[in-house]
Amino acid sequence: MEEIRSIKVKTNNLNEMISMIKKGLPAETVVTLSTSLDMSIKATAELTKIAESTLARRRREKGKLRAGESDRVVRIARLRDRAVAVLEEEQRANRWLKTPLRALNGCTPLEYAESELGAQEVMNLLGRLEHGVFS
């Protein structure tokens, strides 16, 4: 069972998650992520590259995100879940995700994770932190 706590999504397996992303997650998922990150909906929409007006319309219409938008939401949610697991506290993880880090060229982990490659580097950094490797 795959669970992404930051957006309250449970799936039976990775293939089901990929299918959900392709079909589009509900627009309300951005609100759930926003709450998890302790960020405004506007900031979360910017982070996931979704126009605020588009998000508002889709929420009103009970619509879905596009595949690329869903993928970005899942990327950030999985990153946050990993940060919570490593740092062992939600508030601490949220602070860490929003703090500029020298290891990320002065960017916050959330900024760095705007691309898949950047997100992978943030995951690697979390792995190093988990194992006590100074970064």
10-residue averages of pLDDT along the chain (135 residues):
87 91 96 97 95 94 95 96 95 97 95 94 94 71
Per-residue model confidence (pLDDT) at position 132 = 79
Strand pairing partners for 107?
A: 101
Per-residue model confidence (pLDDT) at position 135 = 58
Per-residue model confidence (pLDDT) at position 23 = 96
Closest CA to 70 of 118, 28, 36, 99: 28
Per-residue model confidence (pLDDT) at position 1 = 61
Contacts of 110 (CB under 8 A, 6+ apart): 37, 47, 76, 79, 97, 98
The letter for the amino acid at 35 is: T
Per-residue model confidence (pLDDT) at position 12 = 85
